[in-house]
Structure formats: structure tokens, C-alpha cells
Amino acid sequence: MEYDYLVVGSGLFGSVFAYEASKRGKKVKVIEKRNHIAGNIYTENIEGINVHRYGAHIFHTNNKEIWEYVNRFAEFNHFINSPIANYKGEIYNLPFNMNTFNKLWGVVTPEEAKAKIEEQKAAAGIDKPRNLEEQAISLVGTDIYEKLIKGYTEKQWGRKATELPAFIIKRLPVRFTYDNNYFNDKYQGIPIGGYTQIVEKMLSSDLIDVELEKDFFEHKEEYLKEFPRIVYTGMIDQFFDYQFGTLEYRSLEFETIILDQENYQGNAVVNYTDAETPFTRIIEHKHFEFGTQPKTIITKEYPKKWKKGDEPYYPINDEKNNEMFKRYRQLADQLPNVIFGGRLGMYKYYDMHQVIGAALAVVKKEFE
Ligand code: FAD
Ligand code: UDP
């Protein structure tokens, strides 16, 4: 078969592209170095429970078109992410909201909570936040920073909070209402039956061939010669042989345990926010789909220093890495037949809805 496109990586970005290209009559070959499709949104059924193999994935978006788009490939339930923080046995609601402030300080009204935060912010003397620590204290005060942010963040990123960019913490809402919804977005849910079906459907066309356990770098030069167009969703620095240096990532180790009990922690996500517990969170998968199976499956998530060959889960978008990325991006712009996309190709801390949005933008540019 003569292909129009080679798509490197069967994650969400590559799969949306392959699906849209096949709808337009294009022939697509997808190669994937893992032994399964779907990238980091892969879920597998164990004991009747859909296990998120690469960490908790909750779909959320404000964009109606993206919500409708993803709903074509699965039915979503009404799951709302409301994680719990466990700090040395003390339990707090996340994201930071009136329930958190009440438990911590006994305050009851939003005004009392705001006054408390202002008082702590003033005592810390922060005017213009320059790093994650200062950003966090100016948003929620020192008590919450010390109990719920510092330990978790420093474990997660393996760096002092004073050496991390402020934007990381700005992902989290701070609310002066009694609302434990982790996200502000209008649409939210979990696909009933897991995420893998979404990618399976995207790649199901007769015009798409998928080859698993195939690493692009085994045959890079041939692929570049043979395929008229390539969509590349692997690491951009690897594509260019690390010539400007290695972009940094944070990696994770997942420990998954099947337990002979029905309910282990009573919530899908529990964060361990102290510095000493070696994992950042425990996920209990059945709660994403309100499961009633007799057993339960939990996953402990251990942050880990990344080195070449490890899974690159989180790009570290600090100044140094972003500058290096820009140089790679300039090289990429000189290759008109290769489209770089996705979390690794764009070196960006993208969520699923953003990846779909970015892929659809590329599709539009390519075909319209
Ligand atoms: P990926 O899913 O990484 O896909 C890239 C694919 O390319 C992979 O399958 C990889 O094996 C393959 N590949 C790479 N290099 C090569 C090569 N050389 N040859 C062949 N194949 C290759 N988003 C949310 O919206 N909500 C969440 O709750 C959420 N939680 C997350 C939790 C964790 C722990 C992580 C890590 C991410 C989370 N995300 C979440 C983000 C979400 O996973 C990503 O937005 C999305 O999966 C990115 O899709 P992608 O196609 O860009 O990348
Ligand atoms: N964070 C924290 N305490 C928590 C949860 C999150 O300090 O209990 C901080 C931490 O720095 C984390 C960031 O907020 O990296 C973003 O959290 P999010 O849950 O969005 O991270 P992700 O799901 O992407 O790992």
C-alpha cells in the first residue's frame, strides 16, 4: 500500500490526526514503539476494573466542540474529580476551597478565609511572586503551602519549590466556595469502559495500518525517504539527535496492586502531601466509574528522576528547557514534510483536550 502519511506514536495526537486523514481518504501508517496503542491514556481491564496504566486521567474541557468530538468515540459518565489530600493522617479537600480553609483554620465565611490568607501573605512579605513557592503563598498563604503544597511539589518535581516556575501551581483553582471540583471546566467525565476504546475507534479505518513495537529511530532515514508526509509525536530533541542538548523531563514509576477488598480509600485520588511518603498519590481505579466489583485495584505513583530511556511523562517547562526547545523548533520549521505534535513533539504540559485541540488545528491547516 502506498501511504500518504506516517504517524509516529499512537497517542491521542497521532490518533486524532490519523483518524481525520483517513476520513479524507488518505492512507496512513501508524508506528508505535510500545506494545499497545493509546499512549499515556491507555487503560486496561483487570478484574472488571478499567485501570489507568499511566496515571489518573480525567477528561475536562471548556470547549464544547472538543467535548462533542470526544463523545463521538465513547460515552462519558458524570465523574467529577474531587481529590483528597492526606497530610500525615490529616485529611483535607482539594482543590483549595472553603472546605480546606474551614478544616485548617476553623473559618466559616469567605471573608474570614481571605483575611487569613492576606495576613499570611503579608507576613511572608511577597509582592511579586517569582517562583512556585512565592506564587503558592500569595494564593493560599503559608499554612496551606507548608502542609499541602511544598512536600508534594518537591517530591513531584525533584526540585526546591523556589526553583520551579510559578505557572505549575496556577493550574489549580483556589475557590472561596464550598466546591470540591478540581477543575473549573464546563465539561468533565470519564469514558465508560476506559480510554483505549477511543483510540481503537480512531484507528479502526481500513485506510489505517498500525504497527506496534516499532521505534521510528530504527529506520528513521528510510521513513524520511519513503513517506511524503510524517506526523511525529515522539521527543523533538531525539529527532534531531540531541544536537542542542537533552530536554529534561520528570518521570514516574507506577506500583499497581490488586486488593481482595471492596473499597480501599473511598475516593479515586488521594494525594500524600508530606515530604516523607515516597509516592505522591494513590489512585483507586474503580471509583472513576463508580465500580462495585468485589476486589479493588490501586496504583501508587512515585516520581522519579528522568534519564534517557525512561518514560518522559512531564516536560519541565523552565526557562532553560524552553530556550532549548525553541532552537529545536527552528530546526523543525525547516522540515516542511514533518509535522511535530503532542506533548513530546511540542514539549508542552498539554492535557488531553489541549492535545485534541492542537491536533485538530494541524488537521485544519493540512486539509483546508
Ligand atoms: P502520548 O500519549 O505520550 O503519545 C505518544 C506516543 O508516541 C506514545 O505511545 C509513545 O510510545 C509513542 N512514541 C514516542 N516515541 C516514539 C518513537 N520513536 N517511535 C514510535 N513511537 C513513539 N490529561 C488530562 O486531560 N487529564 C488528566 O487527568 C491527565 N492526567 C495525566 C496524568 C499523568 C501521570 C500524565 C503523564 C499525563 C496526564 N494527562 C492528563 C496528559 C495526557 O496524558 C496527555 O495530554 C496525552 O496523553 C498526550 O497525548 P500525546 O499523543 O501527545 O502523547
Ligand atoms: N500540587 C500540590 N499539592 C497537591 C496537588 C498539586 O502542591 O495536592 C501542585 C504540584 O506542584 C503539582 C501542581 O500543583 O505539580 C499541578 O497539579 P496537578 O494535579 O494539575 O498535576 P498533574 O495532574 O498534572 O500531575
CA 48 – CA 296 distance, rounded (Å) = 9
Three cell numbers written together for 115: 483575611
- Does 329 qualify as catalytic in the annotation? no
Asked if residue 2 has pLDDT above 70, the reply is yes
Three cell numbers written together for 272: 500524600
314 CA to middle of ligand 2, Å?
12
Residues 5-79+187-248+316-367, CATH architecture: 3-Layer(aba) Sandwich (3.40)
**Ligand 1 pocket at CB < 6 A:** 8-14, 31-34, 39-41, 54-59, 215-217, 233-234, 252, 313, 342-344, 350-353, 355
pLDDT band at 1; cut points 50, 70, 90 = low
283 lines ligand 2 (CB under 6 A): no
pLDDT band at 354; cut points 50, 70, 90 = very high
Q: Which ligand is nearest to the CA of 272?
A: 2
Residue ranges of domains in the chain: 5-79+187-248+316-367, 97-169
CB 258 within 8 A of CB 39: no
CA 223 – CA 204 distance, rounded (Å) = 23
CA 233 – CA 347 distance, rounded (Å) = 10
Q: Which ligand is nearest to the CA of 231?
A: 1
148 lines ligand 2 (CB under 6 A): yes
Q: How many other CB atoms are there within 10 angstroms of residue 125's CB atom? A: 8
Cα-based distances in Å from 143 to 88, 102, 130, 137, 213: 14, 13, 19, 8, 48
* Active-site residue, from 187, 195, 249, 281: 281
Mutate to test the pocket of ligand 2, among 149, 163, 317, 355 (most ligand atoms within 8 A of CB): 149
- Does 19 qualify as catalytic in the annotation? no
119 CA to middle of ligand 2, Å?
24
Beta carbons within 8 Å of 365's beta carbon, 6+ residues apart: none
Q: b vs e for 267-291, b when ≥16 Cβ sit within 10 Å of the residue's Cβ?
A: bbbbbbbbeebebbbbbbbbbbbeb
Q: b vs e for 198-230, b when ≥16 Cβ sit within 10 Å of the residue's Cβ?
A: bbeebbebebbebeeeeebeeebeebeeebebb
- Does 119 qualify as catalytic in the annotation? no
191-194 long-range contacts (CB < 8 A, ≥24 apart) are 191/59, 191/70, 191/73, 191/74, 191/75, 191/76, 191/77, 192/74, 192/75, 192/76, 192/77, 192/289, 193/50, 193/74, 193/75, 194/43, 194/44, 194/45, 194/50
- Give me the pLDDT at residue 170, please: 85
pLDDT tens column, 143-189: 999 999 999 999 999 999 999 988 889 888 999 999 999 999 999 99
Ligand 2, atom nearest to 349 Cα: 24
Q: What whole-number percentage of the chain has pLDDT above 70?
A: 100
CB 250 within 8 A of CB 164: no
219 CA to middle of ligand 2, Å?
38
Please spell the DSSP secondary structure of 279-292, one letter per residue: -SEEEEGGGGGT--
pLDDT tens column, 28-59: 999 999 999 999 999 999 999 999 999 999 99
Cα-based distances in Å from 293 to 77, 189, 242, 261: 17, 20, 47, 9
CA 10 – CA 199 distance, rounded (Å) = 8
Q: Which ligand is nearest to the CA of 55?
A: 1
**Bond before 303 cis per omega within 30 degrees:** no
- Give me the pLDDT at residue 171, please: 80
Asked if residue 342 has pLDDT above 90, the reply is yes
- Give me the pLDDT at residue 297, please: 98
168 lines ligand 2 (CB under 6 A): yes
Three cell numbers written together for 2: 502506498
Three cell numbers written together for 282: 494513590
Which segment of 32-46, 118-132, 288-302, 327-341 scores lowest on mean pLDDT? 118-132
pLDDT tens column, 204-256: 999 999 999 999 999 999 999 999 999 999 999 999 999 999 999 999 999 99
pLDDT tens column, 282-326: 999 999 999 999 999 999 999 999 999 999 999 998 899 999 999
- Does 175 qualify as catalytic in the annotation? yes
Q: What is the pTM of this model?
A: 0.96
Beta carbons within 8 Å of 302's beta carbon, 6+ residues apart: 252, 253, 254, 255, 278, 279, 280
Of residues 241, 234, 237, 240, the one with CA closest to residue 311: 234
- Does 351 qualify as catalytic in the annotation? yes
- Give me the pLDDT at residue 293, please: 98
Q: What whole-number percentage of the chain has pLDDT above 90?
A: 95
Three cell numbers written together for 188: 468533565
Question: Measuring from atom 15 of ligand 2, which residue has the nearest CA?
Answer: 153
